[in-house]
A = this chain, B = another copy of it.
């Protein structure tokens, strides 16, 4: 497979580009570049001029913001096929957060101008972008709700549920997508709190924890415990930005 074909495959993973013209996809493929990043490498920092948007090719990216004294708030952690940095189009051309590779990984960088042109010239693209923004907004709204109504063990349970295959009845085996310290920050808690909260979740729901592998006979207990403190009914038709795109 040629490099361009590889890039096209990556582009089509991102929901926003699913229905795009071959012409536009082709342009992005021609001007896009696959780049590598090592663990801990900072791709850009908040307020950098946003010349590119990115799509995760492999690995996970941490988006975050930082105070002067170093406290971090993780905005999101994105898997393969997810786009980021594109909202800078509407934020006076600056990235609104910093981005860091959480492991050795690959990314596709595409010049922002391409997307901007397409949105401005192709009404369908603007509508698609609107859908993408709305989807994200829903995701963020739910995040705020979770932080307000769920305690630490419930948030972990909720995350596990979104990670699990919800269509499937019976026994479930889940593998945590990235390390526990990172997951803790994703859920807005300290690593120590995560460790204790997972232990409490285990005690309350009977899940079996073995390192990064979690097993249970069924999702029922988890649903009962976590979804009680959430306004959405299980299964929440969330776009799972915590699960890898197949």
Identify the A interface with B (CB < 8 A). Answer: 46, 65-69, 71, 73-75, 87, 89-91, 96-97, 119-120, 123, 126-127, 129-131, 133-138, 140-141, 143-145, 147-149, 188, 228-231
Contact = CB atoms under 8 A, between A and B. Distances in A.
The 7 closest A-B pairs by CB, nearest first: A90-B134, A65-B231, A126-B126, A133-B133, A73-B145, A73-B148, A140-B140
Contact of A147 (B75, B120, B144): B144
A137 B87 contact: yes
Given A120-B127, A228-B67, A231-B46, A91 B149 contact: no
Given A138-B96, A140-B144, A231 B73 contact: yes
A9 to B, nearest CB: 27
A157 to B, nearest CB: 15
A234 to B, nearest CB: 11
Nearest to A231: B65
A10 to B, nearest CB: 24
A188 to B, nearest CB: 5
A73 B228 contact: no
A188 B188 CA distance: 15
A131 B119 CA distance: 12
A104 B186 CA distance: 40
B137 A127 contact: no
A75 B144 contact: yes
A66 B141 CA distance: 13
A97 B231 CA distance: 9
